[in-house]
Amino acid sequence: MNDQRDFEYIVRTKKKDFTKADELFNIRYARFARSFHRQIPGYKMTSLKSLANLAHMIGLEGIYIKDESERLHLNSFKVMGGSFAIARFIQKKLNLSDEQLSYEYLVSPECHEKLKDMTFASATDGNHGRGIAWASMKLNLKCVIYVHKYTSQARIDAIRNYGARVEVIDGNYDDAVRQIAIDAEKYGWQIISDTSWPGYEEIPTWIMQGYTTIMLEAQEEFAGLGIIRPTHIFVQAGVGALAAATIGFYASLFKDDPPKFIVVEPDKAACIFETAKYNDGTLHNITGSLDTIMAGLACGEASPIAWSVLDGTVDAFMKVPDYTSARGMRILAVPLKGDPFVISGESGAVPLGALYSIMTEEGSEGLKAVLGLNEKSNVLIINTEGNTDPTHFRQIIWDGLDNVPKDYLTRK
């Protein structure tokens, strides 16, 4: 633990165990997920963008941003998990073989007739709900989404634009999750949630497996650049679903020589960090408002399935202040000459902000050394969202909201 910096970290020294990662996220699942996603009209591989000049500036070989803001014009990666989980749910409900599971069949009148009384439901901080609403609209089925009272109007409107009914729940994200579980049981809705709880594990697993399309694409893009694999992966976490999918995929694929895995969370909603800190075999929740600008990561309760993967694979856990994310957004929006411009929202930019802090702030030398971050390192980061809250985006980029404290300003 390092208490001298603006961020805190835990370096894991326990023996790695990739069993769960290989069980849930081996490449066969990724290929199956992508075979489905490729059938969705408008599907295309998102860009892997190189920040070569930034990497050189801070002492790395390369920084690569997998830009999910481009995904299916939905401004977020979440649709990859939600669409695949809904497809798998319908496959199981209608007893379809893998060969029968196609996007064309799912949107057919025949399928709709069999499912017309179905209502999909979920709780969300914004992006997941929009993905579920989009998929429900494509299937011509009803959708109900619960959001918490701190959700911005822009994110609520984005969900409603796809025909979903949105209910605002008094409390935080975890309160919305609990309420949707109660109401779904009462009204007969089918929950499509990216967090798990006892008795509800299959669908969250499908969601995480849907995310592996992203990593399979990234790995093929690395191969095209002549890079065998990234040496380090910085990935953000809310309930931990994306982190588990990302790390699980790479741990399974490169189990003999895996990248270093670093999980980053907001310091006001660091449930996975707290669980790693206590390391006592139980999940440790964060309560209260979870008041962070990283709305997509404002989760106080980790997914048990996600933790079962992360516990045996992660090299370091970090929790960072909000301005780390804001700085990451500004770095991407105002890049060094020759580096690409990337639009990133608050939850999308925090891994880059965390990497930048480690590489530039005094007192981080020990962490750099133990993680092996140096001039030979190629770092993968997933930009999970674009500009999902335009007013707040402008306040950060234009007005300097959540500015970097003077003690941590860039020195070179």
Nearest CA among 243, 236, 356 for reference residue 298:
236
At 197, give phi and psi (nearest 5°): -155, 165
Strand partners, 49: 65
Question: Does residue 125 have an active-site annotation?
Answer: yes
Coil/strand/helix, residue 190: strand
CB-CB contact of 209 with 84 (8 Å): yes
Sort 42 into a burial class: Cβ within 10 Å, 0-12 / 13-18 / 19+.
exposed
Active-site pick, 66, 78, 260, 268: 78
Q: Name the strand (E) or helix (H) holding 20.
A: helix 19-25
> Cα–Cα distance between 224 and 45 in angstroms, integer?
13
Token pair of 34 as six digits: 């992508």
> Cα–Cα distance between 4 and 318 in angstroms, integer?
14
> Cα–Cα distance between 363 and 336 in angstroms, integer?
25
Helices (H), 188-317: 202-224, 241-253, 271-278, 304-310
CB-CB contact of 216 with 250 (8 Å): no
> Cα–Cα distance between 170 and 17 in angstroms, integer?
40
Q: Write the CA distances from 72 to 37, 44, 135, 327, integer angstroms.
A: 10, 8, 11, 27
Token pair of 88 as six digits: 């798998």
Dihedral, 225, 231, 233, 234 alpha carbons, nearest 10: -110
> Cα–Cα distance between 153 and 261 in angstroms, integer?
34
Active-site pick, 125, 311, 315, 402: 125
At 359, give phi and psi (nearest 5°): -80, -15
Question: Does residue 183 have an active-site annotation?
Answer: no
For the chain, the C-alpha Rg in angstroms (whole number) is: 20
> Cα–Cα distance between 80 and 83 in angstroms, integer?
6
Residues involved in catalysis:
78, 125
